[in-house]
Amino acid sequence: MKLLVDTKREKVLFAEASKAVVDFLFTLLQLPLGAVVKLLTKKHVVGCLGNLYSSVQNLDPTYMQPNVSKNILLKLNVSPTSSTLISGLLE
């Protein structure tokens, strides 16, 4: 991952990441964390998860695959496959 950072303002101006990194970030949102982050205020969210959720909320639809809504990432229903994925990550 490459980042262009404004050190005076402590802001990331530009980020370049591989498809694997982007897929990983979206996988985090597919876990029940997306539903939890939505319910918590930003000051109660650990680390950057609140920022990640907000970034997806503000993401321009042109960056999504055709015919895919970002709502599939933001408005999750916890499914049985989520627990399978989580248990696979914990092993």
Question: What is the pTM (predicted TM-score) of this model?
Answer: 0.43
Please say whether the beta carbons of 53 and 29 come within 8 A. Answer: yes
Alpha-carbon gap, residue 14 to 2, rounded angstroms? 8
According to the model, what pLDDT value does residue 2 have? 93
Burial-class residue 63 by CB neighbours within 10 Å (0-12, 13-18, 19+). exposed
According to the model, what pLDDT value does residue 8 have? 95
Please say whether the beta carbons of 27 and 76 come within 8 A. Answer: no
Q: Sketch the domain layout of the chain as residue ranges.
A: 2-90
Sequential pLDDT tens for the chain (91 residues): 899 999 999 999 999 999 988 888 887 777 666 666 666 655 666 667 677 777 888 888 888 888 888 877 777 665 555 544 444 444 3
Query: Both ends of the chain: CA-CA distance in Å?
Result: 26
- Our measurement of the distance from residue 11's CA atom to the centroid of its chain's CA atoms, rounded to an integer in Å, reads 18
According to the model, what pLDDT value does residue 86 have? 45
